[in-house]
Amino acid sequence: MRKNSGQLRLVASRTSEHQTARNAHGSWLPLSTIDLFCGAGGITEGFRQAGYQCLYANDCMPEAVETFLLNHPEAWAEAEEIENVDPAQVRKELGLKKGALDVLVGGPPCQGFSINAPERFLRDQRNKLFKDYVRFLEEFEPKAFLFENVPGLLSLADGKVFRQILQEFEGHGYEVTAKILFAAHYGVPQERWRLILIGSRSSAIFPPGPTHYATGRANFRSGATMTFQLRAADKDRLLPAVTVGEALGDLPRLEIGEGAETVGYTVPPHSDYARKMRNPAGVTYNHFGAKLSKQNIERMQYVKPGGSWRDIPFALLPKGMQRARKSDHTKRYGRLRNDGLAGTVMTKCDPHWGAVFLPDQERSLTVREAARLQSFPDGYRFVGPRVSQYEQVGNAVPVLMARAIALETREHFEELGCIPRRSVPEAAHG
């Protein structure tokens, strides 16, 4: 998450609930996590759906922490600069012994990754957020950890920075596996790539294999070696990719300026994905058709599904776009396709940033529609100004991808005999 320049606010602790919480389906304690740089809680929601409980979460963005706590009220979550947090004090408050925590999760946004002297990476002050992650790792000594980041991390300083990170984790006694995962491989209706490192104090935990057949353009270093390469024959054994139409088609249709923070459904769920996302309470949240400028409304009329700025008459393009080459791969001013995947959900719902126009409605994505593309269930509510809500959604790790990692980690613990084997619900609704 990006740093917030405003005053940070502490969100109240619920440590007493940590000690007594039980799984709704039995008397056993769920597996435990701590979520650093938690944002709105995409990773924690995915882990929750796999039978984990977050004990503590931290982020420097107050609205994101408010969203996190609203949806995970059993957690102790605080909006605080992590450098000001003492991991030893957190562990004391939680009443955990070293090694008792099951999984530490998070993705520190390391600003100094592109330094010219990678051998000084860990001493560089700009990388203090990574070092803060390591501080928690050292203090809690969790059984496993999840570290996620952008694939571009692999190419910095010709791979030396990535190797430094691996050495740091391995030096703390963890066996580490690394993979670049494609969100669409796990039922997320979106083209999104994330670098995933999973560490274990016992035998290696391997990243989960694809459950859905989808292809994407891996235009980054190690795209051919660190991603799952699917073949045409894999279509027969995997589920089909979830499309934009399957993800969004049942949500209430809106005109620009229509909608509300709470809306009821108007039609039954039309797809398996929609059924899984639906809130049993019969309502969803954050579904408001944002206003567009007069110029963007006019530009939108020319863009067909799957199209982009290339469809817009030259005279209507912004001056900067008038200088763009037709061969440019950008999806700016793009319109989504019902039969395809969405592009990476951005932190701004701005046509100049990417494809945000609906396939069959004359407007841009609502916060709820963006959240559906990130596989957040409909009962997951985002708070704060609408600009902040879009940012929270765009910064999140897709829930179903996090869930797949959580299930793989859980199976690892079961095989080691750390926990009994138990079935996990297909997916948890909002």
Residues taking part in catalysis: 110
Backbone angles phi, psi at 208, to 5 degrees: -70, 140
Burial of 27 from C-beta contacts in 10 A (0-12 / 13-18 / 19+):
exposed
d(CA 45, CA 53): 9
| DSSP class per residue in 267-297 | S---SHHHHHH--TTSEEEEEE-----HHHH
DSSP 372: H
Check: CB of residue 40 under 8 Å from CB of residue 371: no
- Strand 144-149 with 103-106, pairing: parallel
CA angle 381, 387, 392 (to 5 degrees): 50
Check: CB of residue 52 under 8 Å from CB of residue 46: no
CA angle 343, 254, 400 (to 5 degrees): 40
Q: Report the amino acid identity of residue 294.
A: K
Check: CB of residue 428 under 8 Å from CB of residue 380: no
User: In this structure, what token pair is assigned to residue 129?
Assistant: 């957020």
User: Phi/psi class of residue 295: alpha, beta or left (left: φ > 0; alpha: ψ in -120 to 50)?
Assistant: alpha
d(CA 47, CA 34): 11
d(CA 51, CA 224): 33
